[in-house]
Amino acid sequence: MDGYLIDTQTVCYWFDDESDQYTLVNAAINRLPAGSPLYISAITLGEIEYGHAINPAGAGAERDEFIRFIRSTFPQILEITKHTAEPYGRV
């Protein structure tokens, strides 16, 4: 499966246009070949959910907007299995 696996912090920077890193991340994403699939893993999704759970200020409209961003940008969440370790180690 070709494409790009995006980690938690990169997703957060990409979503938050007020972040110091937003411009760099957005530019890097825009430099990817057109039509390149972007993926996040179930671990990244769990980290995002955990962040929302421990931050009551993150609840509400902004959280909902972030979840919509995740779902529209990454329609396929990569599952973690026993076969994940070797490719993950190469990354």
Q: Pick the residue with more confidence: 82 or 48?
A: 48
Q: Which amino acid is at 87?
A: P
Mention every residue, 6+ apart, whose C-beta is less than 8 A from residue 2.
Answer: 36, 37
Mention every residue, 6+ apart, whose C-beta is less than 8 A from residue 51.
Answer: 58
Structure tokens at 61: 């409209």
- Comparing CA positions, the residue from 90, 86, 1, 85 lying closest to residue 43 is 85
User: Whole-model pTM?
Assistant: 0.77
Q: Is the pLDDT of residue 7 over 70?
A: yes
pLDDT tens column, 18-70: 999 999 999 999 999 998 999 999 889 988 888 888 887 766 888 889 889 99
Give the pLDDT score at 24: 96
Q: Is the pLDDT of residue 91 over 70?
A: no
Q: Pick the residue with more confidence: 84 or 5?
A: 5
Would you place residue 1 in the very low, low, confident or very high pLDDT band (cuts 50, 70, 90)?
low
Give the pLDDT score at 76: 87
